């Protein structure tokens, strides 16, 4: 017989012939081959494996049983560790405090609510980032803080994960339609004691719609006058990058101004115009207004320019400038895309630590000025 004719006969005997005695992988007639028998045995019911214990397959079933039990955790026969008590959950605020290493100690709280406008007509200097992270740091240490998003871009609302889609009740409705401020304030989920008054894209048209209204510069101040802020320690107003009516409303409503200054040359060019605007508002609309804080942001210690700008600002403004500088940090930039401040997103980063120290200075200055109870 030729080799070609013998080959089908061998294959037929290999497929239909009797299994080798004692072979643990052998199957019934017409069943799977030896290479696929082990997986078939692994998924066989436990009763079937027990019934076939006399033909050597019980060994394969026993070997596969731990994997099956692990896949069905909680069933009889599951490891004892899986039935143990669950660990208590840790909130984002608690995790942030543990990573920050501040021990959760409450900082000095002001005797009455401090209203601080964060303004600079130059864009990209860290107004929103500073507002959000200073507010988060203060709230983590016992203060009750409201962030008022006055920027039509709504970036502060995004960073605090507060709904601000078009049509949502927002600061626009307060300024233009005289809705009460209390009706739009929302709590921030991850940080107890932190609240946000969101901004929507509707606010972009407020600059024009406010023009014909009576006392258009004092609309926000009037809303705060009707709002019960007795339970709050801080109100931080995040302004748009302009000196229009929205920023003027913020300057009229607040007593303090915090100016973030980017440690670059161009950041100093528009500072004179901002200070002139503040003086005009103080002279005609809000005599109590003053620049209480200047915060140096985006500091790059590798460049000589950053050090020169910091020195020049300190020489000109003196003790108003916080001793803490905010370094450039990728984590600070990433955090808003996750709907978080950097304090909860990566509390161990250099940016989070810097904002923590800056917020501590803001809180301690209230005690130095006799504003704490």
Two structure tokens written together for 224:
């705060």
- 10-residue averages of pLDDT along the chain (373 residues): 42 42 41 40 39 41 40 39 52 77 73 95 91 95 95 93 89 95 94 95 91 92 94 96 94 96 82 92 96 94 89 91 94 90 91 95 77 55
Whether the predicted model's global pTM rises above the 0.85 cut: no
User: What is the number of other CB atoms lying within 10 angstroms of the CB of residue 49?
Assistant: 19
What local confidence, expressed as pLDDT, does residue 70 receive?
39
Which burial class, exposed, middle or buried, applies to 128 when counting CB atoms under 10 A from its CB (0-12, 13-18, 19+)?
A: buried
What local confidence, expressed as pLDDT, does residue 190 receive?
86
C-beta separation of 120 from 270 below 8 A: yes
What local confidence, expressed as pLDDT, does residue 302 receive?
87
Query: Residues 190, 187, 196, 115: is their CA dihedral positive or negative?
Result: negative
What local confidence, expressed as pLDDT, does residue 155 receive?
93
Helix (H, G, I), strand (E, B) or coil at 119: coil
What local confidence, expressed as pLDDT, does residue 369 receive?
57
Return the beta strands (E) in 198-304 as ranges. Answer: 234-238, 256-262, 290-299
C-alpha dist (Å) from residue 218 to 50, 115, 212: 84, 15, 13
C-beta separation of 292 from 269 below 8 A: no
Those residues whose C-beta lies under 8 Å from the C-beta of residue 58, and which sit 6 or more positions away, are: 49, 50, 52
**Which pairs with CB-CB distance under 8 Å and at least 24 residues apart come from 332-340?**
332/129, 332/133, 335/159, 336/129, 336/132, 336/155, 336/158, 336/159, 339/158, 339/159, 339/160, 339/161, 340/92, 340/159, 340/161, 340/190
What local confidence, expressed as pLDDT, does residue 102 receive?
60
CA distance 143 to 191: 11
Q: Which residues pair with 260 in a beta bridge?
A: 295
257: left (phi over 0), alpha (psi -120 to 50) or beta: beta
What local confidence, expressed as pLDDT, does residue 251 receive?
97
């Amino acid at each position: 017989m030729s080799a070609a004719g013998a080959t089908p006969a061998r294959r037929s005997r290999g497929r239909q012939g009797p299994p080798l005695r004692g072979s643990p992988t052998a199957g019934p007639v017409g069943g799977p081959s030896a290479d696929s028998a082990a997986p078939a045995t692994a998924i066989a019911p436990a009763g079937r494996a027990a019934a076939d214990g006399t033909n050597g397959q019980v060994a394969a079933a026993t070997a596969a049983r731990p994997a099956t039990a692990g896949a069905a955790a909680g069933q009889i026969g599951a490891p004892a560790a899986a039935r143990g008590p669950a660990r208590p959950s840790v909130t984002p605020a608690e995790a942030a405090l543990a990573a920050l290493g501040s021990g959760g100690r409450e900082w000095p709280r002001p005797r009455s609510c401090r209203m601080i406008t964060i303004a600079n007509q130059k864009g990209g200097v860290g107004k929103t980032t500073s507002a959000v992270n200073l507010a988060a740091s203060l709230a983590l240490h016992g203060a009750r803080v409201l962030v008022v998003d006055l920027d039509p871009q709504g970036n502060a609302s995004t960073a605090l994960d507060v709904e601000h889609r078009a049509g949502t009740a927002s600061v626009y409705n307060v300024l233009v339609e005289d809705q009460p401020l209390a009706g739009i304030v929302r709590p921030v989920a991850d940080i107890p004691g932190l609240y946000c008054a969101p901004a929507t894209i509707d606010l972009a048209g407020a600059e024009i719609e406010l023009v014909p209204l009576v006392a258009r510069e004092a609309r926000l101040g009037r809303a705060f006058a009707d709002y019960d802020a007795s339970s709050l320690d801080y109100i931080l107003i995040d302004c748009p990058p302009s000196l229009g009516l929205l920023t003027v409303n913020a300057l009229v409503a607040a007593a303090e101004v915090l100016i973030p200054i980017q440690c670059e040359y161009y950041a100093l060019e528009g500072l004179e115009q901002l200070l002139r605007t503040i003086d005009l508002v103080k002279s005609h609309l809000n005599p109590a207004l003053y620049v209480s804080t200047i915060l140096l942001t985006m500091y790059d210690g590798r460049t000589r320019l950053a050090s020169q700008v910091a020195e020049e600002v300190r020489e000109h403004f003196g003790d108003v400038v916080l001793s803490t500088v905010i370094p450039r940090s990728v984590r600070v930039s990433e955090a808003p895309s996750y709907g978080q401040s950097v304090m909860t997103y990566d509390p161990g980063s250099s940016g989070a630590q810097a904002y923590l120290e800056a917020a501590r200075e803001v809180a301690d200055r209230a005690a130095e000025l006799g504003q704490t109870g």
